[in-house]
Structure 1
Amino acid sequence: MPVAQYGTTEIHYSHIIDTSLKHGYITVDFYEGVVLKTPPIENDKADQLVISKGRWIMDKVKLVERIPQGEIITGSRLLYLGRRYYVQVTKDPAVKDALVRFTQSKLNIAINPDVEDRTSAIDKALENFTRDKAKEKILPRVKKWSETTGLIPNSVNLRKLSKRWGSCNNDNDILINFDAVKLPFSLIDYIIIHELTHIKHKDHSKDFYRELSKYAPDWEDMDERLGDMKL
């Protein structure tokens, strides 16, 4: 999938060539994501077209993020590491209830055809997938940033949090919302750095932001982007 760099934001988009078109146009959809349709053009030109509409695209993305996604079926799109991946749902009597795998740039959801509550089975399988991928993708980055900053947590745990992306208590135990694995790595890293900084400064004082700026100089932009993401 092509990626256009709009400021500090990566815009992932699909590019569809249509020889009948005279001009290009862009659509932003909950399921399809950002789609550029053009007559035959060079890749660099395609990126420039997306960048030229960058602000409009970002505003549109914020709107469609809030659209209820409804039942998950083949053709749905689900977030993982900042991108919306195509979902394929298949029946498999060999699995217990449901199982999610990420293969070949899509999410495969296998569901037992005899399961009684299809929606609950898929929801539970997606939660298990998200938690497992968070362990795989997020915990090593906590270790890396802890070594980089010299800020060592007492413990690090992943948990489903309803109203925040992370926390650090007075004992320096850090919690990270495992749903953060749905975000791009830039935002995952920011969440980690933010919570590690609370090891040194428990409040959001000037000293806290001074320390935060050492490792996340664009923290204001990151804060804004996180605020636009739906928990």
Structure 2
Amino acid sequence: MPILQYGQTAIEWRFQPDAKLKRHYVTVERGRPVLLRGPQVRRAEQEALVLCRARWIRDKLKLVNQPLRNEAIVTGSRLRYSGRTYFTEVRHAPGITRPRLTFTASRFIVEHPDGSSILPEAIAPLLEGFYRERAQEKLLQRVRHWERQTGLKSSGARIRHFESRWASCNSHNVLEFHPRVMELATTVQDYVIVHELCHTVEKNHTKEFWALVAQHSPDWRRPHATLGQAAFGDAI
């Protein structure tokens, strides 16, 4: 795989041609080469595209390759939901066979058969399941709200696990949202929804697309910057 040297950072990257796309997209994921997707171009043009985004790629690589936090979740730890972190109580529950997670108005409660602490990798699927339930309950209602507010119409909305993005509008104008969108503050959730609704009109991030976003979300740059701090790719 080709490697581009940008200052002290070696950017290993691979190209994935996609004739359906009108522009090129860069995705950065932990432990993988940078992915460049888009219309077929020669190697020199691919390298120029990577170089154009090199500063952003360098910063994103630093973010996603930070050492993983392996500390166990215990009573007093905090888990994220809707833009806030909540006190978490971990209870030893020898009478159950697998961990359970519930949420009250003010805290997460984790019941664990193996003790009063639980590793992050064990709680991750529980947390995503919680996000998925809340997204089905709340986020899809917000989609209908923003359809009424903007006059933009999707062909439907659903929750879907993505490897490297927050949301998507497919070729049939069905909106798809990662459960982790429920981590975000409601203002950012709303921006993600409006962003995807605008893709029902313009599939690519053209000037016309951003003008449409600004029409319906004048302060869009603030929530967009919040998303830029995440470990997902440069497109939503």
TM-score normalised over the length of structure 1? 0.65
Distance 2:169 2:73 in 1: 34
Q: Secondary structure at the match of 1:138?
A: helix
Q: Corresponding residue for 1:128?
A: 129
- Aligned pair count? 165
Q: Corresponding residue for 1:74?
A: 75
For residues 104-159 of structure 1, the C-alpha deviation after alignment (integer angstroms, 9 at most, x for no partner) is 41111112249xx9665433322211211221221111111112112221121111
Distance change in 2, residues 1:219/1:180 (3 Å): same
Distance 1:221 1:129 in 2: 27
Q: Corresponding residue for 1:167?
A: 168
Distance 2:226 2:175 in 1: 22
Q: CA deviation at 1:97?
A: 0.6
AA at the equivalent of 1:200: V
AA at the equivalent of 1:98: P
Contact 2:73 2:119 survives alignment (8 Å):
no
Distance 1:97 1:122 in 2: 11
AA at the equivalent of 2:223: M
Distance change in 2, residues 1:225/1:153 (3 Å): same
Q: Corresponding residue for 1:216?
A: 217
Distance 1:110 1:151 in 2: 43
- What percent identity do the matched residue pairs reach? 34
Q: Secondary structure at the match of 1:175?
A: strand
Higher mean alpha-carbon deviation, 208-217 vs 184-193, is at 208-217
Distance change in 2, residues 1:124/1:222 (3 Å): closer
Structure 2 residue runs without a partner (length 5+): 1-62
Distance change in 2, residues 1:120/1:211 (3 Å): closer
Q: Corresponding residue for 1:185?
A: 186
Q: Secondary structure at the match of 2:102?
A: strand
Distance change in 2, residues 1:105/1:142 (3 Å): same
**1:46-195 paired onto structure 2 within 5 Å:** 68-70=68-70, 71-113=72-114, 121-195=122-196
Distance change in 2, residues 1:96/1:135 (3 Å): farther
Contact 2:76 2:89 survives alignment (8 Å):
yes
Contact 1:97 1:121 survives alignment (8 Å):
no
Distance change in 2, residues 1:202/1:99 (3 Å): same
What do you get for the CA RMSD once the two structures are aligned?
Answer: 2.2
Which of the pair has the greater relative contact order for Cα pairs under 8 Å at 6+ separation?
Answer: 2
Contact 1:97 1:112 survives alignment (8 Å):
yes
AA at the equivalent of 1:163: S
